Homo-oligomer: A and B are copies of this chain.
Amino acid sequence: MSLGEFDLIARYFARPTCRAALGPGDDCAVLALRPGMQLAVSCDMLVEGRHFLPTVEPRRLGHKALAVNLSDLAACGARPLACTLAIALPRVDEAWLEGFSAGLYALAEAHGCELVGGDTTAGPLTLCITVFGELPVGAALLRSTARAGDEIWVSHAIGGGLGDARLALEAFRGQVSLPGAVFERVRLAMEQPQPRVALGLALRGLASAAIDVSDGLLGDLSHLLRRSAVGATVDVGRVPRSADLAAQSLALQRLCTLAGGDDYELVFTAPEAASAHVLEAARGAGVAVSRIGRIEAGPGLRLVDGDGRAVEPVWSSFDHFRA
């Protein structure tokens, strides 16, 4: 006999909660905030064939579905508190559910983010996670507060960079051929991104503005510039990339680093005087950060190479209705 909806929730998605005032199993979950704290909320929907390939390991998918949401909390400087999961499944596949929930809970527990409720239904494979974080009143990192003169930074793995997820996608699409070990490494970057939660917390009161890189560096940076009513110059040669990506053609390097998508790094701005503190914050958070440009009063995003020559921005950001 197949597992019913309620048994499925009970078996895979109802681990006991500690901090929530009321966890899964009632009409609502109930969360308490500590005095002086506000709630940060974000939600993302992932659709099979669009945000992930049908071949992805369920454990990695469980990780990624939560990671992309935690990345939004990180960009806001919020500490993860709880999440809800709504999931449409074409069928009840217990091995899949086992892997998916294990991947989700592993990342959730690593970040103290309790699964407090959700919904399960039949339908084309679709995941929707809403995350809740807390942050002191007025402490949220915003997109709209970058100032002319600020330096532009981007986070990345130590020894790594942006664009590996896109390189993996190009390999899946047959556009590039990679040695097996390289493919496995960049595939992991695509399928199991690490949200920069600790960095986001460390940047509170330090960064002047922040956004997470989910649709491509230039596209997401452009959102920040528009919302802040400023412009910027970015030195494309300074955008960090892994040794594996640096071994590819310059055109592919630029596509992947500047318009790659699925990086889940933070791009943020800070006054030049704060640069030592920024580097210290990154060290404390166990990640690297690279300075890639500067905010300017004039609107628009200008790209230059290492010699200061203009680079044509031929890459556009990802748009789900134009892709």
Contact = CB atoms under 8 A, between A and B. Distances in A.
A42 B89 CA distance: 19
A45 B319 contact: no
Contacts of A4: 319, 321-322
A15 to B, nearest CB: 17
A144 B30 CA distance: 14
Contacts of A33: 33, 38-39
Contacts of A321: 2-5, 8, 89, 91-92, 122
A56 interface: no
A169 interface: no
Interface residues of A, number: 73
B28 A41 contact: yes
Contact of A211 (B27, B31, B87, B140): B27
Nearest to A26: B143
A212 B49 CA distance: 35
A123 interface: yes
Nearest to A143: B26
Contacts of A323: 122
Given A27-B212, A76-B27, A43 B319 contact: no
B44 A140 contact: no
A72 interface: yes
A27 B215 CA distance: 13
B128 A86 contact: yes
A158 to B, nearest CB: 24
Given A25-B227, A29-B41, A33-B39, A320 B120 contact: yes
B44 A28 contact: no
A47 B88 contact: yes
A304 B145 CA distance: 66
A216 interface: no
A126 interface: yes
Interface string A308-323: 0000000000011111
A43 B130 contact: yes
Given A45-B88, A122-B323, 7 more contacts: A27-B210, A41-B130, A43-B84, A47-B126, A50-B123, A89-B321, A124-B126
Q: Which 8 A-B pairs have the closest CB atoms?
A: A47-B123, A128-B128, A45-B86, A27-B75, A28-B40, A28-B76, A130-B130, A124-B124
